[in-house]
Amino acid sequence: MTPALLEKLPSSWPPVCPSPQWHRDPALTTPLAACREATRAHATSFFFASRLLPAQKKCAAYALYAFCRWVDDSFDEMEAGKTAPESTALFVALDEILAGRSTLPFAPAFAATCREYDIERAWCCDLIEGCARDRLPLRLANLAELEIYCYYVASIVGIMMSRIFGLQDAALLPRAVEMGLAMQLTNILRDVREDFERGRIYLPAEDLARFNISEDQLREGRANDNWRALMRFETARARAWYAGAELGLPGLDNDGSRMTARVMERVYAGILTEIERAQGDVFTGRRYVPLWRKCLILGQCLLAG
């Protein structure tokens, strides 16, 4: 992890003391239901793992996901022929959410989650800035740029989720960052073709050059020996980040939070296994972990404790 990335970690990490019954406020019933549905529909792996969480943390995690989904969808509007917003417009909308003035379905639940778990506005802004980078054709030069991108769109979510999952030791925050790096790189490897069609190449240019991969090859979807070598290189990098993230899991609450994070890590790492089974071919089909294998991973994690 580059020093520039470590400098982005929160400077303070106060204890979290949420009200045990905050999620039972009748005013939050409908917003929390909207958050749950958004998670169920669009984050199937997390929704699967979240069954292990206590109710109030489950509600908070769903609310955080709904916010992240809203941010991502806001910038993807341009792909449906609409004009993508400027970051400043979303900053204003964020302030409306946090002040309780937003009419977005998830907004009251997310505002309550931020209050109860001390989730900072600046972290939400970082996520907005990260997703805003996808508005234009995107290229990354090297590992440092890859890490920064993954931090803004994924690791910052890991930091916010760490508040919900009860991380007490700020020294373990780099492990949360690594979880985000690993999961986002996994997404990048899985979605190479789809991203290229949207004008985005997230694999660092220095890596593509190292393995003699051209944009023409990406366009044509050729999984030759060079491509397979690149995919082995990138999956090894992702697995190293997963291994680092694993070291931080004992710092999470042992109320289902730790197990949820472990299941998520194993399921996402399982996507890498599916890519390996396909010999690096991510062009001819979407590589994913089927439900039966998720259930097997869940059982293995529960047996291991």
Q: What pLDDT, on a 0 to 100 scale, did the predictor assign at position 68?
A: 96
Q: Is the pLDDT of residue 273 over 80?
A: yes
Average pLDDT in the chain: 93
Q: How far apart are CA 62 and CA 41, in angstroms?
A: 11
Average pLDDT value for residue range 192-210? 95
Answer whether 195's CB lies under 8 Å from 32's CB: no
Average pLDDT value for residue range 118-139? 90
Q: Is the pLDDT of residue 294 over 90?
A: yes
User: For the segment 64-92, what is each residue's pLDDT rounded down to a tens digit?
Assistant: 999 999 999 888 764 444 555 678 899 99
Kind and range of the H or E element at 138?
A: strand 138-139
Domains within the chain, CATH numbers bracketed? 25-136 (1.10.600.10), 137-305 (1.10.600.10)
Q: How far apart are CA 287 and CA 267, in angstroms?
A: 12
Answer whether 125's CB lies under 8 Å from 94's CB: yes
Answer whether 113's CB lies under 8 Å from 60's CB: yes
Q: What pLDDT, on a 0 to 100 scale, did the predictor assign at position 84?
A: 56
Instruction: Name the nearest CA neighbour of 294 among 51, 102, 61, 106.
Output: 51
User: For the segment 50-64, what is each residue's pLDDT rounded down to a tens digit?
Assistant: 999 999 999 999 999
Buried b (16+ CB within 10 A) or exposed e, 127-137: bbbbbbbbbee
Maximum Cα interatomic distance, the chain, rounded to a whole number of Å:
58
Token pair, residue 230, equals 């690149």
Q: At what angle do helices 107-117 and 55-76 cross, to 10 degrees?
A: 120
Q: What pLDDT, on a 0 to 100 scale, did the predictor assign at position 120?
A: 96
Q: What pLDDT, on a 0 to 100 scale, did the predictor assign at position 77?
A: 61
Q: What pLDDT, on a 0 to 100 scale, did the predictor assign at position 124?
A: 97
User: For the segment 214-239, what is each residue's pLDDT rounded down to a tens digit?
Assistant: 999 999 999 999 999 999 999 999 99
Amino acid identity of residue 151, one-letter, is Y
Average pLDDT value for residue range 179-186? 97
Chain centroid to Cα 122, Å, comes to 17
Q: How far apart are CA 238 and CA 179, in angstroms?
A: 9
- Residue found by looking up tokens 């010999």 in the block: 279
Instruction: Name the nearest CA neighbour of 242 among 156, 192, 179, 162.
Output: 179
Average pLDDT value for residue range 8-14? 88
Q: What one-character-per-residue DSSP string does 67-102 give?
A: HHHHHHHHHHGGGGTSPPPPHHHHHHHHHHHHTT--
* Rg over CA atoms, the chain: 19
Amino acid identity of residue 249, one-letter, is L
Q: What pLDDT, on a 0 to 100 scale, did the predictor assign at position 27?
A: 97
199 CB neighbour count, 10 Å cutoff? 12
Q: What pLDDT, on a 0 to 100 scale, did the predictor assign at position 8?
A: 86
pTM, entire model: 0.94
Q: What pLDDT, on a 0 to 100 scale, did the predictor assign at position 234?
A: 98
Polymer length of the chain? 305
Q: How far apart are CA 245 and CA 80, in angstroms?
A: 36
Average pLDDT value for residue range 247-274? 96
Better-predicted residue by pLDDT, 184 or 8: 184
Token pair, residue 245, equals 């993230």
Average pLDDT value for residue range 107-113? 98
